[in-house]
Chain A
C-alpha cells in the first residue's frame, strides 16, 4: 500500500488531535540508541510507541493495531517492576534488573550464508572472522548445561554451510543439551539427504525452517529467488529422518500477509512432518532496504485476525493466548491436535487474560515446545470414526499430531520497549555474555 505525503500528514494531524496515553515506558533513539523516556499512545484503535531524542527528534512507530484483541485485554497491563538498569540495553548481558530466565539460548555457529536476503536481522554474509571450532563450541555447550540452559538454537548466518554441523550437533548432545534446534533456510537439507541424515543421527531435535509462503513470488521478493520446491525438499528430507519441522515465515505487509492462511493450511496438510507455524512479523534491524514506515509493519493482533479471516474461521483469534515466558505483547501461541477434517483446540480463550508468570515459566515453555516440535516414531495411522474424547485415543493422536501456531514480534530500534525487553527469555550467547535477542541484534537506523 502506498501512502502519499498528504495522507501521512493528515494521519499525523488526526493522531495529534485524539492522542490518549496508554502507558509510560523507556525506549532508545533509533539513531544514537541512547535510552529515552517513551510512551505508548492510542489514536482510534491503534497504539504507537513515541519518543523524542534531544539530538535526533521525535519518533513514532505503530505497535498494536485494532481492538481484536485489544491492547489492554491481551497484555493485562501488569504493574511496572521498577526501573531497568540506567544503561539498558547497552550493557547487556543479563543483569539483576532482567525479569526472565533463559528459555532458549541461541548460538551463532557461523556468519556465512548461502542466501543474500535484502532483510536479515543477523546481517549475514561472511564479513567477520572464521567460524568457531567444534571444540570451542563444545566448551560453550558445556557451560550452557552447567547454567541450566539445555535448549539450544544453532543459528547463524546459515548453520548448514558448515560441513561439520553434524559434529557440532553431536558436541551439543554430548555436553547434555536436551533440545537442539536448527534455525535454517533448509536449502542444503533438501539437496543433500545424507547431510540431513547425519544431523538426525547426531542428535538434532527439530528444525526451524525459514518458510515465507506457499508461492514462489514471495520468495523472489524476500529472498531474491524462487525457493518453494527447495523448501518442500527440505521438509521431505526431515520427514525421512523423523526430524520435526516448524515453518517460520517472516511476515511482511504487501508481500506475504495475504498468505498467512495458506501457510497454516500447508502446515496442517503436512502434519505430522510439520509440527507448527511460527510467525515472525518483520522487524527492522540488521540489514533492511529502507527506514520503515508504519505501512511496512504488521502487528500481532493483525496476524491473529488474518489467521482467522484467511483460514475462514478454522482457527480463530480466541484460540490463542500470550505466553507467560515472555512479555505478552511479544508472543502468541495456540495449541492444536490435527485430525484429517478438523482441529482439536487445546488453548482455552479464558487463558488470554491470565498470567501464570513465575520463575518456572521458562521451564514450562521449554517443555511445551519440545513436546510439540519433536516428531515421534509412533504410528500415525488414522482410525476413521475414532472417539477423541477417549483418553487413550486422544493421547495417541496428540503425541503424533500436536500442532502449534505461534508468533514472536521482535523489536527494533523504532519499536523497542524496555518493559518488553526485560521479560525476554530468548537469549543469544555472544562474547561470553547472554543477551536478550532484541538487545543483541539492535542496530541504529
Chain B
C-alpha cells in the first residue's frame, strides 16, 4: 500500500483512520492496527500484511 495515501470507505464515504482490528484464525484471536472506516468499521488489509505477518500467524498456528 502506498504510504501517506488517504483512503475512503466506499460505503460510508468517510476517510479511513488507523485503528485496532481483531483477526481470528483456528480459534485464536489477534489484534493489529490497520486503516478502518470510523463509521462502519470495515478495514483495509494491505497486501504486505496479508502476505507477511498474517501469513506467518497462519503458518505458526497450522497444526501437524
Taking beta carbons and an 8 Å cutoff, which residues of A are in contact with B? 321, 323-325, 333, 335, 346-348, 350-351, 356, 364-365, 367-369, 371, 387, 389-392, 394-395, 398-399, 402
Rounded to whole angstroms, the CA-CA distance of A207 and B42 in the bound complex is 47
Could you say which of B28, B31, B53 contacts A395, with CB atoms under 8 Å apart?
Answer: B53
Nearest neighbor of B49 in chain A, beta-carbon distance: A391
Q: Are A365 and B64 in contact (CB under 8 A)?
A: yes
- Residues of the B chain whose Cβ atoms lie less than 8 Å from the Cβ of A364: 62-64
B3 interfacial by beta-carbon distance below 8 Å: no
Which residues in chain B, 21-40, are within 8 Å of chain A measured between CB atoms? 23, 26-32
Could you say which of A323, A325, A367, A395 contacts B57, with CB atoms under 8 Å apart?
Answer: A395
Total A-B pairs in contact (CB under 8 Å)? 53
B12 interfacial by beta-carbon distance below 8 Å: no
- Residues of the B chain whose Cβ atoms lie less than 8 Å from the Cβ of A348: 26-27
Could you say which of B23, B26, B28, B62 contacts A368, with CB atoms under 8 Å apart?
Answer: B62
B60 interfacial by beta-carbon distance below 8 Å: yes
Minimum distance in angstroms from A100 CB to a CB of chain B: 13
B18 interfacial by beta-carbon distance below 8 Å: no
Q: Are B57 and A391 in contact (CB under 8 A)?
A: yes
Main secondary structure of the interface of B (DSSP, over half): mixed
Q: In the complex where A389-B31, A395-B56 touch, is A369 in contact with B64 (Cβ < 8 A)?
A: yes
Known A323-B64, A346-B28; 17 more pairs at CB < 8 Å: A321-B63, A324-B64, A333-B63, A335-B63, A346-B61, A348-B27, A350-B27, A364-B64, A371-B60, A389-B31, A390-B31, A391-B31, A391-B53, A392-B32, A394-B30, A398-B60, A402-B60
Nearest neighbor of A402 in chain B, beta-carbon distance: B60
- Residues of the A chain whose Cβ atoms lie less than 8 Å from the Cβ of B29: 389
Taking beta carbons and an 8 Å cutoff, which residues of B are in contact with A? 23, 26-32, 53-54, 56-57, 59-64
Minimum distance in angstroms from B3 CB to a CB of chain A: 18
- Residues of the A chain whose Cβ atoms lie less than 8 Å from the Cβ of B27: 348, 350
Rounded to whole angstroms, the CA-CA distance of A330 and B29 in the bound complex is 31
- Residues of the A chain whose Cβ atoms lie less than 8 Å from the Cβ of B61: 346
Nearest neighbor of A369 in chain B, beta-carbon distance: B64
Minimum distance in angstroms from B8 CB to a CB of chain A: 25
Minimum distance in angstroms from B22 CB to a CB of chain A: 8
Rounded to whole angstroms, the CA-CA distance of A364 and B26 in the bound complex is 16
Rounded to whole angstroms, the CA-CA distance of A394 and B63 in the bound complex is 17
Could you say which of A321, A346, A390 contacts B32, with CB atoms under 8 Å apart?
Answer: A390
Q: Are A395 and B60 in contact (CB under 8 A)?
A: yes
Rounded to whole angstroms, the CA-CA distance of A348 and B24 in the bound complex is 13
Rounded to whole angstroms, the CA-CA distance of A387 and B33 in the bound complex is 13
Q: Are A394 and B57 in contact (CB under 8 A)?
A: yes
9 pairs of A and B residues whose beta carbons are closest in the complex: A368-B64, A391-B32, A391-B30, A365-B64, A348-B27, A398-B60, A389-B31, A323-B64, A390-B31
Q: Are A325 and B32 in contact (CB under 8 A)?
A: no
Q: In the complex where A391-B53, A395-B57 touch, is A351 in contact with B63 (Cβ < 8 A)?
A: yes
Rounded to whole angstroms, the CA-CA distance of A50 and B47 in the bound complex is 58
Minimum distance in angstroms from B25 CB to a CB of chain A: 10
From B26, B56, B60, name the one whose CB has the most chain A CB atoms within 10 angstroms: B60
Minimum distance in angstroms from B44 CB to a CB of chain A: 16
Rounded to whole angstroms, the CA-CA distance of A372 and B6 in the bound complex is 40
Rounded to whole angstroms, the CA-CA distance of A321 and B56 in the bound complex is 22
Q: Could you list some 28 contacts between A and B, CB below 8 A?
A: A321-B63, A333-B63, A333-B64, A335-B63, A346-B28, A346-B61, A347-B63, A350-B27, A351-B63, A364-B62, A364-B63, A364-B64, A365-B64, A367-B59, A367-B62, A368-B64, A369-B64, A371-B60, A389-B30, A389-B31, A390-B30, A390-B31, A391-B30, A391-B32, A391-B54, A392-B53, A395-B60, A402-B60
- Residues of the A chain whose Cβ atoms lie less than 8 Å from the Cβ of B62: 364, 367-368
- Residues of the A chain whose Cβ atoms lie less than 8 Å from the Cβ of B30: 389-391, 394
Q: In the complex where A390-B32, A391-B30, A391-B31 touch, is A368 in contact with B56 (Cβ < 8 A)?
A: no
- Residues of the B chain whose Cβ atoms lie less than 8 Å from the Cβ of A356: 63
- Residues of the A chain whose Cβ atoms lie less than 8 Å from the Cβ of B23: 391
Rounded to whole angstroms, the CA-CA distance of A335 and B23 in the bound complex is 20
Rounded to whole angstroms, the CA-CA distance of A391 and B57 in the bound complex is 8
- Residues of the A chain whose Cβ atoms lie less than 8 Å from the Cβ of B31: 387, 389-391
Q: Are B63 and A368 in contact (CB under 8 A)?
A: yes
Rounded to whole angstroms, the CA-CA distance of A25 and B53 in the bound complex is 46
Rounded to whole angstroms, the CA-CA distance of A321 and B62 in the bound complex is 13
